[in-house]
Each structure stands twice: as structure tokens, then as C-alpha cells.
């Protein structure tokens, strides 16, 4: 898969992973096996993404991870770039969200740039399965 037609549709989040930049395995983001998410990439060039920690209960000192944003996107076969025009986190407005894209069997794997979460830089990977074609 390498063209725009390969990404159009609605995708369900099926797995998350995180690896520290030093190679250490980190806890899976968004609650690991309980992660919930949907991603829609429309043929008209618009997208929307929503991801959250789907665990029913969290420790009192644990914040629930949540992200949602939408905007116009481009895909060149390797990178998905979204110009954000609406988001739960106002700091994302006007930003470019860049994701490296790979395909593994029937899964699309999105990798955002490495970022520090809790003081240790890590590379996240989000695995998506298409549940509806565009």
C-alpha cells in the first residue's frame, strides 16, 4: 500500500506501543490493550482522529490520555501530514501533525515524532485496522 486510496476510510485502533529512544520498552499508551480510537481519512482530504484510554478505572493520581483533532491532510505514501483546524487541545490549532506511515499486513501503523512523556523521550506506534472503506 502506498497511495491515497490505501488510506481512505475509517480505521479502528487495535494496538499501541511505545519504545524509549534508548531502546527500553515503555508502557503502551492510552491504556495499552484498553486503548480506544477511530480515524477517518476522507477522499475529500479531510480527517478526524479520536483516541482515549479506555480503561474503566484509573488510579487517583493517573490522568486519562485523550486526543482528538481534525483538519486537511496530505499523504505521499510515507507521511501523513494534517494541518489542524479543530482540536481538544487548543495548542494543536494551526499545527502540522506529522505521522510516519507503514503497512503491516492489514494494519496501518502511524508513528508520530518522538516526544517526552513523563520525562523520558519515546517513540509511539499506533496500529489501525480499516473497518470501512471510503
All structural domains of the chain, each given as residue ranges with its CATH number in brackets, are: 4-132 (2.40.128)
Give pLDDT, residue 3. Answer: 64
Beta-carbon contacts of residue 32 (< 8 Å; ≥ 6 apart): 16
3-state DSSP percent of the chain in helix, strand and coil, to 5: 10, 55, 35
Residues recorded for the chain = 134
Burial environment of residue 118 by CB neighbours within 10 A (0 to 12, 13 to 18, 19 or more): exposed
Give pLDDT, residue 1. Answer: 41
Q: In this predicted model, what pLDDT tens digit does every residue of 69-113 receive, in sequence order?
A: 999 999 999 999 999 999 999 999 999 999 999 999 999 999 999
Per cent of the chain over pLDDT 90 is 79
Asked if 84 contacts 71 with a C-beta cutoff of 8 angstroms, the reply is: yes
Averaged pLDDT score across all residues of the chain: 93
Amino acid at each position: 500500500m502506498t497511495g491515497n486510496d490505501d488510506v481512505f476510510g475509517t480505521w479502528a485502533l487495535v494496538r499501541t506501543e511505545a519504545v524509549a529512544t534508548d531502546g527500553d520498552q515503555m508502557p503502551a499508551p492510552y491504556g495499552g490493550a484498553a486503548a480506544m480510537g477511530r480515524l477517518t481519512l476522507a477522499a475529500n482530504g479531510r480527517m478526524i482522529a479520536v483516541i482515549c484510554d479506555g480503561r474503566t478505572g484509573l488510579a487517583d493520581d493517573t490522568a486519562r490520555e485523550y486526543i482528538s483533532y481534525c483538519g486537511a491532510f496530505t499523504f505521499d505514501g510515507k507521511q501523513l501530514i494534517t494541518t489542524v483546524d479543530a482540536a481538544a487541545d487548543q495548542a494543536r490549532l494551526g499545527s502540522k501533525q506529522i505521522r510516519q506511515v507503514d503497512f503491516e499486513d492489514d494494519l496501518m501503523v502511524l508513528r508520530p515524532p518522538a516526544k517526552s512523556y513523563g520525562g523520558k523521550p519515546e517513540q509511539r506506534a499506533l496500529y489501525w485496522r480499516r473497518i470501512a472503506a471510503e
